[in-house]
Amino acid sequence: MVGALAVVKPLPEVRVTELPQEDIKWCTVSLSDVLDTGKRLEASVFEVEGRHAREAVENCTWGTVPLGEPGNGLLEKAYYPGRFKRIYCSAECGVPFYLPSQMTDIRPKPDKYISALTKCDISDLKLKRGDLLLTRSGTIGNSTIVSQTLEDVVFSDDVIRVTPKNPIDLGYLYAFFRSETGYKILQTNQYGSVIRHIEPEHLYSICVPNPPEAIKKKINDLIMQSYRLRDESNELLDTATKMLVETLNLPPIKEFQIEQFGDGYETNNYSVKLSETNKRLDGSYHVPIAKAITEHLRRNAKELLTVGDKRVSKDIILPGRFKRVYVEEGQGRVFFGGKQLFELDPSNKKYLSLAHHGDRIKEQLELHENMTLITCSGTIGKVTLVPRQWERWAANQHIIRVVPASDEIAGYLSVFLSSEYGYPLITRFTYGSVVDEINATHVSQIPFPILADKPIQDKINQLALKANSLRYEAYKLEQEALRSMNDEVIFA
pLDDT digits (tens, 9 = 90+) for 370-407: 999 999 998 999 999 999 999 999 999 999 999 999 99
Range from 224-238, 247-261, 263-277, 387-401 carrying the lowest mean pLDDT: 263-277
What is the rounded average pLDDT of the residues 189-208? 76
What is the rounded average pLDDT of the residues 116-121? 84
Q: What is the pLDDT of residue 140?
A: 83
Question: CB 400: neighbour CB atoms within 10 A?
Answer: 25
- At residue 24 the predicted structure's pLDDT band, cuts being 50, 70 and 90, is low
Instruction: Provide the mean pLDDT of the chain.
Output: 89
Q: What is the pLDDT of residue 148?
A: 96
Q: What is the pLDDT of residue 175?
A: 97
Choose between 9 and 104: higher pLDDT: 104
Q: pLDDT at residue 191 above 60? A: no
- At residue 194 the predicted structure's pLDDT band, cuts being 50, 70 and 90, is low
Range from 246-260, 343-357, 395-409 carrying the lowest mean pLDDT: 246-260
Q: What is the pLDDT of residue 261?
A: 67
Rounded percentage of the chain residues whose pLDDT exceeds 70: 89
Q: What is the pLDDT of residue 35?
A: 78
Q: Which domains can be identified in the chain, with CATH numbers?
A: 38-217 (3.90.220.20), 249-450 (3.90.220.20)
Q: pLDDT at residue 301 above 70? A: yes
What is the rounded average pLDDT of the residues 226-251? 97
Q: pLDDT at residue 208 above 60? A: yes
Q: What is the pLDDT of residue 370?
A: 97
- At residue 276 the predicted structure's pLDDT band, cuts being 50, 70 and 90, is confident
Alpha carbon distance 143, 149 (integer Å): 15
Range from 225-239, 280-294, 357-371, 437-451 carrying the lowest mean pLDDT: 280-294
- At residue 165 the predicted structure's pLDDT band, cuts being 50, 70 and 90, is very high
Q: pLDDT at residue 309 above 80? A: yes
Q: What is the pLDDT of residue 131?
A: 96
pLDDT 10s digits, 169-180: 999 999 999 999
